[in-house]
Structure 1
């Protein structure tokens, strides 16, 4: 019987581990986070060592038992684990080290959240309401934060955490540019912002810099650190309830501001007769997507009348919808 040390030593010396490390490095170079795959694939490597699967040529048959759903595993977790295994087999197959690519046919699909696309009237009402909030009694700046942060997330198409964790030094008032550092893909990007949004930020900073001169964050809480995600969500839902108490039962999220931004850009391009296939990469880069399919997804959120326009050539977007539910 092998000791724990011997088992660990054998695992670390395996070619399975080398291939997994190589694949993860490749994915990181594309902007994916290491933890997207590492936990699942380390577990897979241990299974392959335990079952003495070939280290020279992996077979789908050898990996299949590991890909069966576990008794305590939820569908979402199961699909993520199976997706990691599929990506690994795709990587090995491309190098001639696997006899096929793992199929996802037997893996239950996960219902994707359908974003709520705010109307212009709803956005105007939300932003007007945000100008009259009491905020956090411990932080005299919080009413101003509420008035600015949701506008910034929408008009710049930011992920909510990118707005919350924005640093003071990352706003270039002269150039009218935001530097987005910390995000899902771990890639920095520069975002040019409209003149009126830049002016909004400048006016906000006059008060912010007086109250929190030593905080490194653009939207500091009472302790100078960013507010947590729950705070951002709580105040956003409060705004929504203030504006639409009983008239609208739709579920909304802060993330829907980003979704509305993307569809607004696409609709503007269609109105101008732009070729979406050519223009879409610019939106993808602006929004910080690591996977082009995440940007293509927004086309399917457009009003039905626009989906039939000649500006959208569906034949040029083959199989580009993401398979896995995620906050892109």
Structure 2
């Protein structure tokens, strides 16, 4: 590749080639173009060097080390692409600036918190209207299944197979679809909501299962705003790394409680966790195993089990 070629042109060529293969590269494309401007503003010439990559990675408003690590990870595929045209190009080693993955500990809800949330949702205004029924059922479904809020709001009526006791989650994260079996109490709650919804909205504009009082599909920002208002009303204090408890923490709570029950009932987690990972729509089982290391209650159960195992071995 010609050294006189502007870095922006190199980035554009790279993005075009990758997008022709189906990669969207939206945020990555923005960052790579920012790198190109950085290199051009500094009058860089010749192949990309490790020194240039590090200077750009650290040239951020954020002082967090993980930010620089993520920035250089975005650069690596592009620089590797350039190396095929110029062997003098220096590709940054993997994890040069440390790990790019840090998962903050979630807020794990207690049973009393979930009960209080559903009770407060059921008291929303207008009393006896569709809105309180919608949010009580929606939040209850998230707590009972560990679904993502986006998955629940995308459900259409045809996806809620109450006669078969399951939901069809279509084209979710990573374009994966799956079946979600339901507990009998969840089926009853969904059936009750469907009757109320059809009573208030005999003719709806959208075919979604969860609807606004105006017959439109419920929007995620409406659900987030309602949840935040209820959270403030209930006076919750976060017990994780996030500033406030979140809707998504209902999913974390569901997974954590499943793992806790298995450990306490001495179920073989290694055998059962594949089913749980599939149920909640994780692509990798390691995403589900992550909860063992981040949730204190789970770590305590794991430690107790290992301690019992160690005592048994020592007694043999």
Question: So what's the TM-score if we normalise by structure 2?
Answer: 0.71
Residue 140 of structure 2 corresponds to residue 151 of structure 1: yes
Aligned to 2:93: 101
What is the CA–CA distance in structure 2 between the aligned matches of 1:292 and 1:98, rounded to whole Å?
Answer: 34
Q: Which has the higher helix share?
A: 2
Root-mean-square deviation (CA), in Å?
Answer: 4.1
Aligned to 2:237: 249
Is the alpha carbon distance of 1:226 and 1:69 closer, same or farther for their aligned partners in structure 2, counting shifts above 3 Å? Answer: farther
What is the CA–CA distance in structure 1 between the aligned matches of 2:74 and 2:226, rounded to whole Å?
Answer: 36
Gaps of 5+ in 1: 1-5, 313-328
Matched residue count = 288
Matching of residues 1-328 of structure 1 within 5 Å: 11=10, 14=13, 16-17=14-15, 20-21=18-19, 25=22, 34-35=25-26, 37-41=28-32, 60=50, 63-70=53-60, 72=61, 75=64, 80-86=70-76, 101-105=93-97, 112-135=103-126, 140-181=129-170, 183-212=172-201, 213-214=203-204, 215-242=206-233, 244-245=234-235, 248-250=236-238, 251-299=244-292, 300-303=294-297, 304-310=299-305
Mapped contact 2:157–2:207 kept (Cα < 8 A): yes
Gaps of 5+ in 2: 239-243, 308-316
Is the alpha carbon distance of 1:90 and 1:121 closer, same or farther for their aligned partners in structure 2, counting shifts above 3 Å? Answer: farther
Mapped contact 2:69–2:95 kept (Cα < 8 A): no
What is the CA–CA distance in structure 2 between the aligned matches of 1:92 and 1:155, rounded to whole Å?
Answer: 49
Question: Greater shift after overlay, 109-118 or 278-287?
Answer: 109-118
Is the alpha carbon distance of 1:146 and 1:13 closer, same or farther for their aligned partners in structure 2, counting shifts above 3 Å? Answer: closer
Is the alpha carbon distance of 1:154 and 1:40 closer, same or farther for their aligned partners in structure 2, counting shifts above 3 Å? Answer: same
- SS of 2:175's partner is coil
- Structure (1 or 2) with the larger CA radius of gyration: 2
What is the CA–CA distance in structure 1 between the aligned matches of 2:149 and 2:189, rounded to whole Å?
Answer: 18
